[in-house]
Amino acid sequence: MLGKAHLQSAKKMAEIPHTKEMFDRLTMGIVRSLEKRPGVSDVRLLDRKPAERHIVVSWEQKNSCMLPDDLKRFYLTTDGMLLQWNIKFDEHVGQLGRMEINAMSNVVKLGGNNSSSNTPSLVDIDYDTDDEDSDGIVDNTAPTPHFDTRSRVFELDPCEGYGKVCFVYRDTKPGSPAQHPEIWFLDRSLRWHYLADTFTQYFRLMLMHLGLPQWQYTFTDIGLSPQAKQWFNMYAPVRLTMDGELVEHRSKEWPDTDSAPPLPDVPMNKLDLGKVFKGRLDKKAKGGQSKKKPASTASTAKPPSGTSSGRMPMGQGSAQSKPR
């Protein structure tokens, strides 16, 4: 069963083309936007080659997990991402922003038993937390991730030590390939915070927050540190205001912040990630539809501004669903 699933995944990946040109166009747009901001200097985007298909397939087989299509397309476009930018302040230059997605070789599993019996592992801590929190059930409906066999957790962004962004397969079963991961943030106290349903939604959030320090804490009940708020006020004041209003609204609707759904992002018409991570199958489907149209109906109304065929506005279905 597992071998058949991975064989189908490999065939499907063979139909996914590289979209390096579109990815470069998107990231260069972010670079140009940052370079226009006051005090910003030395915006650096590390150039990485695409991951080889057999490496992606081997990762799936090794971890018994099926990568979602958008994440596969990302790695077949570029093997990870690292964009950093500095600021010049009082004649001193220092790093401020950082957007990072681990390379395929660094997408490692978190958890598992520790080889030393004298040292507690994440699994041990997980079970201790279960005893206190009623088996990790939040709001009696949404189980949080676990470090044992109930979940499979993989690091996506090390966050420079202030937490970890992970994609998580919940409710996994031994011997069965895990599917449909979600994006979660693990803070330094080992508390989980739900961020997004898909990698594409998380990638959009990362770009919109410019990789500012600790931006993931905007979506937690902990909130940003005073210093991080100052940087947001300087470089992303609108985003900080919007996130604050959404957090306030969510706290009223969901008194238990751990059980609340994540905050939605807002439309940014210049970013169409649907085009960046688009497979050949999507193009074939569109081509078949266009051939079926009669010549007399060739002239059709254009889609509204900010949307495109096959693309959902960013405010809809974007990191809003309550964890299942």
Render pLDDT for 170-206 as a digit per residue (tens, 0 to 9): 989 888 899 999 999 999 999 999 999 999 999 999 9
What angle, 0 to 180 degrees and rounded to 10, lies between the N-to-C axes of helices 2-14 and 69-77? 50
Q: Is 38 exposed, middle or buried (0-12, 13-18, 19+ CB in 10 A)?
A: exposed
pLDDT at 238: 87
Contact 174, 148 (CB under 8 A): no
User: Which domains are delineated in the chain?
Assistant: 2-286 (3.40.1580.10)
Edge to edge, the sheet with strand 109-110 lists 109-110, 151-157, 163-170, 182-187, 192-196
pLDDT at 126: 64
* 145, HSE (Cβ side, Cα atoms, 13 Å): 28
3-class DSSP state of 22: helix
Write the DSSP symbol of residue 74: H
C-alpha pair distances (Å), 123 with each of 54, 85, 141, 175: 31, 37, 22, 19
Kindly tell me if the per-residue pLDDT of 85 is higher than 90. yes
What angle, 0 to 180 degrees and rounded to 10, lies between the N-to-C axes of helices 226-235 and 237-253? 130
Contact 121, 114 (CB under 8 A): yes
279 vs 58 pLDDT, higher one? 58
